[in-house]
Amino acid sequence: MERKFMKGNEAIAEAAVRAGCRFYAGYPITPQSEVPEYLSRALPKAGGIFVQGESEVASINMVYGAGAGGTLAMTSTSGPGISLMAEGISSLAAARVPSVIVDIMRAGPGTGVMKPAQSDYFQINRASGHGGYQTINYAPATIQEAVDLVTKAFQVTQKYRMPVFVFADSLVGGLMEAVTLPEPQEPPKTPEWAVIGKGYHGGKPNIVLNASFVEEQQMKKAQEWAGIYEGWKKDEVMVEEYMTEDADFVLTAYGSCGRICHTCVDELREAGYKAGLVRPITTNPFPAEAYRKLIGKVRFILDVEMAIPALMAEDVRLAVGDHLPIHTCLTTGGVIVDSDEVVRCAIRLAKGE
């Protein structure tokens, strides 16, 4: 393994190449533009193809074409780009075409500003396109975790033949840290279902469809997908539970906010408060059980997000119902969460103020 000092966006791009990605199509948008910039150099050296599409709409459909042909493919963008890619992502999900989509979030709504925020939570976790599909969504808190989760995303997308998201805010994308890079993997062999021409399948053509106009077939597909999604809840949930065993109250956050809250828990413990942290690493499937275990054990949950109104708090509320009070400590518009403010908020709540 190789250890390097890298910017988050560049580490994400390098991890994709090392995971076997050999096709990228995307369109520049801050704060993720270093991803395509890096891949424009790295992919051709690895024998892959880099395309700067004329738009996000074109780019996601190029990913569809490359993925349908059996090539490990990815794109990257930010919230406004995800909006434009929505129909293409829906088609990728319906056609069961493996693909990885990286979203480096910026503040919104609208075109927003280029600073860190977590405004895309609903867009990513409630399915940006039509049709009721779901994706596995990874939310890294550090650059090392981003590298590890991008690597995992390429494995998981092949396992389920479903698009997979890795989404982080521009704090993760723009920071520089030392990371350990995985050993490069050879691209996988062309799968049997890939659309590569009759001559490669003993005369039998393959077809990848994103819709069926026969009601019974569409129903059967939907039932199959539902079973896959249900299986994710058992097999694919990832969550960090930090110092929750004896916690009096728990902070919860994802991504870079989760990283900040990790420090907050340490500070609160030093000050004599029994704080814990639940940090979802997969936001879908959501680690609901990690929250349900807190019922009857802790006094409250403090949800910390760079979004106003709170977004992930809705999933936390679905997990615990009315059994636990959920408070929030929020920023947005590019204002990074202040650890001192989180600690002050937690102490006020702990004192009943």
Whole-number pLDDT of residue 200: 62
Whole-number pLDDT of residue 112: 77
Which pLDDT tens digit goes with each residue over 29-44?
A: 999 999 999 999 999 9
Residue with tokens 């459909």: 61
Q: What is the mean pLDDT of residues 304-319?
A: 97
Which pLDDT tens digit goes with each residue over 70-118?
A: 999 999 999 999 999 999 999 999 999 999 999 999 998 887 788 889 9
Same-fold call for 2-235 versus 239-350: yes
**Residue 87 in tokens:** 């129909």
pTM for the structure as a whole: 0.96
CA-based R_g, the chain, Å: 21
CATH number for the domain whose boundaries are 2-235: 3.40.50.970
Hey, what CATH class is 239-350 in?
Answer: alpha beta
Domain ranges within the chain, ordered by starting residue: 2-235, 239-350
Which pLDDT tens digit goes with each residue over 118-148?
A: 999 999 998 777 888 999 999 999 999 999 9
* pLDDT over 90 at 181, yes or no: yes
Task: Identify the band that residue 175 occupies on the pLDDT scale cut at 50, 70 and 90.
Answer: very high
Task: Identify the band that residue 206 occupies on the pLDDT scale cut at 50, 70 and 90.
Answer: confident
Task: Identify the band that residue 211 occupies on the pLDDT scale cut at 50, 70 and 90.
Answer: confident
